[in-house]
Structure 1
Amino acid sequence: MTQPQHPGAVVISGSTYLRNARGDLVPIANIKASDLLQDEFVRKMCAYAEDLSAELGRFQSHCYADIADFDALLDQEYGVRNERSTKGNRSFSTIDGSLQVKVCVADQIAFGPELQSAKKLLDELILERAEGADTLLVALVTQAFKTDKEGKVDTGSILALRRLEVDDPRWADIVRAIDDSVKVFGSKSYLRFYRRGGDGRMTMIPLDMASVSPSPTAFARQSLRRRVDELEAALADARRMIDILNQGVSAELFELDKVC
């Protein structure tokens, strides 16, 4: 029995090669068995991950479609005419309250050049106070304006500065500069799913890899892929039965034609 061909194999003059990370062709016979095994399970895991990602995308699309249909039904019931109005945060619950779906809408924020003016004023304030500067204020400002690898500041930390109370006449200008720097360029909605636990509290149903954990219920549930496979198999069986029935009907009609 021949072994299945490696998905990344390149066959040249009867010899099989694989490309390494640099793009060079390496004879598969020269690759360590452990590296081939690692390659195999990484490809398998990533294939499942891509399937799960696609399923999540389809699931999200269906959820938003169902919510939009329900919103349209309510709008129709109450005579709402402005169908283009933006929907904000809202919750949907089962009758017994044990399950809940939340739509959370968050603004996507960027900062304009006014933020640099706020930073200059903050630097002036801290430098002038020198030893008398509030260590907490210094720490918060340093953290807020610390940039990540992409050069972006932490939005939450910047906005949190506005809630501070600083005894300095320039503080009002600093807060105003931060306010003026905020530019909302869009919004993004998120779906959250909750189930009431035994303690009566609503617990989020995790959908990210960092939050999920293996449990008996997880393994008891049939995977979506298996359901699809079973449905496809059932459809194939149904088609075969229809073909057999059609062939039988055709044969009977042929015999009737001969008799007639």
Structure 2
Amino acid sequence: MESNTMQCTIDIPAGYRQDAKGNLIPERNIRPIDQARDELVAELASEAKRLHAQLAAFKIRAHADIAAFIQLSAEEYRVFIGGTKGNVTLLAFNGSYKIIRQIQESIRFDERLQAAKALIDACLVEWTEDASPEVRAIINDAFRMDQQGNIRTGQVLSLRRLQIEDERWQRAMVAIGEAVQVVGSKAYVRVYERDDKGKYQPITLDMAGV
């Protein structure tokens, strides 16, 4: 027989409060300071939930409105824009406000990264005497795991900026590019206001930054 671990909602009689274990405790047995703390936490938590819901609604509206505006702008030039990729900056007519929509993709590498690493290792063995220590350090550091044991994608992709003409290196760079797999994406909307000095300052929606 399975036990029901879900907490049931019960009507709390007047003059009682429910403790963390679900027991009903008479208020006369609860210290005034504990009652005051309970009321403060409940009031602030209720307000936080209301603001959270408003912020969630604003986020949905902002993304939808920006997407609709992009499509409207495209239709004016009889161009169809498909998908949701791409960063967009929208400016108020007088430049006082700026809104940026950013799409941040999460990527990982598939098994082709191992083929790229084997080609790079072959190059390093042959270049041991001739390659500069700086290049070897950059290559070895790129494949170093982070603290969570994951490949640092940014460092690996940065190898493609190295100007190395070796045919094996070029094949390795192709393999790295083909090994990239997009596993998810997040969209962000950031709003800025121009200050008296002409610089755009973020309108912070994170309580920690207000």
**What's the TM-score once normalised by structure 1's chain length?**
0.56
Which structure 2 residue ranges, 5 or more long, are not aligned? 1-13
**Which amino acid in the other structure matches residue 118 of structure 1?**
A
What is the aligned partner in structure 2 of residue 96 from structure 1? 94
What is the aligned partner in structure 2 of residue 9 from structure 1? 21
Pair 1:93–1:10, CA change in 2 (3 A): same
1:147-192 deviation line (CA, Å, top 9, x unaligned): 3465432222111110012364432122122122123456543212
Quote the sequence identity (%). Answer: 33
User: RMSD in angstroms over aligned alpha carbons?
Assistant: 3.9
In the TM superposition, 1:175-214 aligns within 5 A as: 175-184=173-182, 187-208=185-206, 212-213=209-210
- Secondary structure in structure 2 of the residue aligned to 1:102: strand
Pair 1:144–1:99, CA change in 2 (3 A): same
Higher relative contact order (CA 8 A, sep 6+): 2
- Secondary structure in structure 1 of the residue aligned to 2:100: strand
**What's the TM-score once normalised by structure 2's chain length?**
0.66
2: CA distance, partners of 1:45 / 1:120: 57
What is the aligned partner in structure 1 of residue 10 from structure 2? none
**Residue 108 of structure 2 is aligned with which of 110, 135, 141?**
110
**Which amino acid in the other structure matches residue 85 of structure 1?**
G
In the TM superposition, 1:155-234 aligns within 5 A as: 155-166=153-164, 168-184=166-182, 187-208=185-206, 212-213=209-210
Which structure 1 residue ranges, 5 or more long, are not aligned? 17-28, 214-260
Higher helix share: 1
**Residue 83 of structure 2 is aligned with which of 68, 82, 86?**
86
Pair 1:113–1:169, CA change in 2 (3 A): same
Q: How many residues are treated as equivalent by the alignment?
A: 189
2: CA distance, partners of 1:123 / 1:42: 59
**Which amino acid in the other structure matches residue 136 of structure 1?**
E
**Residue 142 of structure 1 is aligned with which of 129, 132, 140?**
140
1:34-85 deviation line (CA, Å, top 9, x unaligned): xxx8x99999887776655443322110112322443454456x27484x72
1:108-146 deviation line (CA, Å, top 9, x unaligned): 433221111111222333344446543333333333223
